[in-house]
Chain A
Amino acid sequence: MLIRTKVNGEWREADVWAGSSLLYLLREEMQLPGSKNACEQGECGSCSVWLDGELVCSCLVLAAQAQEREVRTVEGLADHDELHPVQEAFLEAGAVQCGFCTPGLIVAVTDLLEHDPSPAEPVVREALSGNLCRCTGYAKILDAVSLAAARMREGKA
């Protein structure tokens, strides 16, 4: 089935099996392996992307459901060589260990900060409840969120 979808600002087409997920379309057909495939059942959030501006698990979206719609992935965050403030903050805060959960968390954190520039910690925890990390114990991730939030607020001021 031929799918046409706008990914990170660019219209693209790919032919996939009709039962494929959006995650498969992105990783295997569109050379965008940033979104990770870990559980394929919505539990881990490592495949998080935006579909028409909404945070979703791309493993639970049928590729055909992205037909003629807009997808934004972790690859769309950095401006060429310049990392997004959330990406910078993850590096600086030491919020990355094996890195498998990182792209999904970066997307989820960016989504949160785009909606709420200064979230309280319970709000952060709730917003990230769909993203699992097996390495960091989350403390450094929460640090990264505060750091990114502060930087993004400064950037806007």
Chain B
Amino acid sequence: MDVLLPRTLEEALEMKAAKPEALPIAGGTDVMVELNFDLHRPEALIDICRLPELREWKRENGMIFLGAGVTYGRIMRELSELTPLTQASRTVGSPQIRNRGTVGGNLGTGSPAGDALPVLAAYDAEIELASANRARSVRWNEFHVGVKKTALEPDELILGARWRAVRGPGSFSKIGTRNAMVISVAGLCLVMDDDARAVRVALGSVGPTVLRASEAETFVAEELTRSGNWDDPGADLPVDAMGAFAERVAAAARPIDDVRGTAAYRRHACAVLARRALGWALAARREGVGRP
């Protein structure tokens, strides 16, 4: 086995073109487990954790770009105004894991339980990819095409994710058996976009990939319009709207029974998370804050 140690993105993409079978390793928090347990013995590894191009994030023209190599620890320290992303990062593993684990690695592994993924889905992010001779971007839902299956070509690397910065509250929450070091049984990200007058809801761990609850999104946006809440955040939604929203979110889930929970429990969890997330967002709007 070989380890390639590129110093720049350009060098890395050339190496990947010459040796497409080389497995990228960023924080290593997924890759090393497989190596240590001999579950997977790649022919070569390519260490991308030092590439400066992947370690940056920036805001430009109303967009946010998050480099694939930005760790959860850095998100918590440097991007705390992105509430749902920071909340999701805080739930990942432990301090040691968050100091190494990256959003690019979460995308690369493509587990439906990846905690950064519902956030990218709710932001409606584009995933930027590059090979030595082309760059392209695909929408989040075109990137994960099945359980742990991605649209990444063998000669490509993930550069990062890009999305339009939204004004409005949002949150990420997840259900697990304890407070730290836990793979989610169900996760939910809700983002309220005051400018587009839209609500976006994404679910993790309740389907083969992360899912959006589109019907629930349309329903609640219309309820907010009907009640006048977009213009007057003090306006109340009809009493049954929260429950009806939660029901629609739960209906969007496609859960299975597994060791972490039953499908029925997961569906119920989605409804609970949805109701709470909407409650927090409405309260934040009432208080005039951009976040819960």
Contacts and interface: CB of A to CB of B under 8 A. Distances in A.
Interface stretch (A28-36, A51-59, A80-88, A142-150): A51-59
A111 to B, nearest CB: 8
B36 A45 contact: no
Q: Which of A42, A56, A59, A64 has the most CB of B within 10 A?
A: A42
B45 A42 contact: no
Nearest to B49: A65
Contacts of A45: 94, 96
A65 B5 CA distance: 8
A55 B99 contact: yes
A129 interface: yes
Interface string A106-140: 00100100000000000000110111000000000
Nearest to A23: B36
Interface string B24-51: 0101110111011100010001010100
Contacts of A43: 181
Given A42-B97, A48-B96, A130 B41 contact: no
A8 interface: no
Contact of A62 (B3, B41, B73, B95): B3
B54 to A, nearest CB: 14
Contact of B3 (A18, A42, A60): A18
A19 interface: yes
A41 B33 contact: yes
A59 B2 contact: no
Is the contact region of chain B dominated by helix, strand, or loop, or is it mixed?
Answer: mixed
Q: Which of B5, B45, B100 has the most CB of A within 10 A?
A: B100
B93 interface: yes
Contact of B33 (A60, A67, A129): A60
Interface in B6-40: 25, 27-29, 31-33, 35-37
A78 B27 CA distance: 29
B33 A42 contact: yes
Given A54-B99, A55-B96, A130 B28 contact: no
Contacts of B264: none
Interface string B168-180: 0000000000011
A131 to B, nearest CB: 8
Contact of A18 (B2, B179, B180): B2
A61 B100 contact: yes
A18 B45 contact: yes
Given A41-B37, A48-B96, A55-B99, 18 more contacts: A17-B1, A18-B1, A18-B2, A18-B3, A40-B33, A40-B37, A42-B94, A56-B99, A60-B33, A62-B3, A62-B45, A64-B5, A64-B45, A126-B180, A129-B179, A129-B181, A130-B93, A130-B180
Interface of A: 1, 17-19, 21, 40-43, 45, 48, 54-57, 59-62, 64-65, 67, 108, 111, 126-127, 129-131
26 contacts: A17-B1, A18-B2, A19-B41, A21-B36, A40-B36, A40-B37, A42-B29, A42-B33, A42-B93, A56-B96, A56-B100, A57-B97, A57-B100, A60-B29, A60-B100, A61-B28, A62-B28, A62-B47, A64-B45, A111-B95, A126-B95, A129-B94, A129-B179, A129-B180, A130-B94, A130-B97
Which 10 pairs of residues, A with B, have the shortest CB-CB distance?
Answer: A130-B94, A129-B180, A40-B36, A64-B3, A60-B32, A130-B96, A18-B1, A18-B3, A54-B99, A57-B96
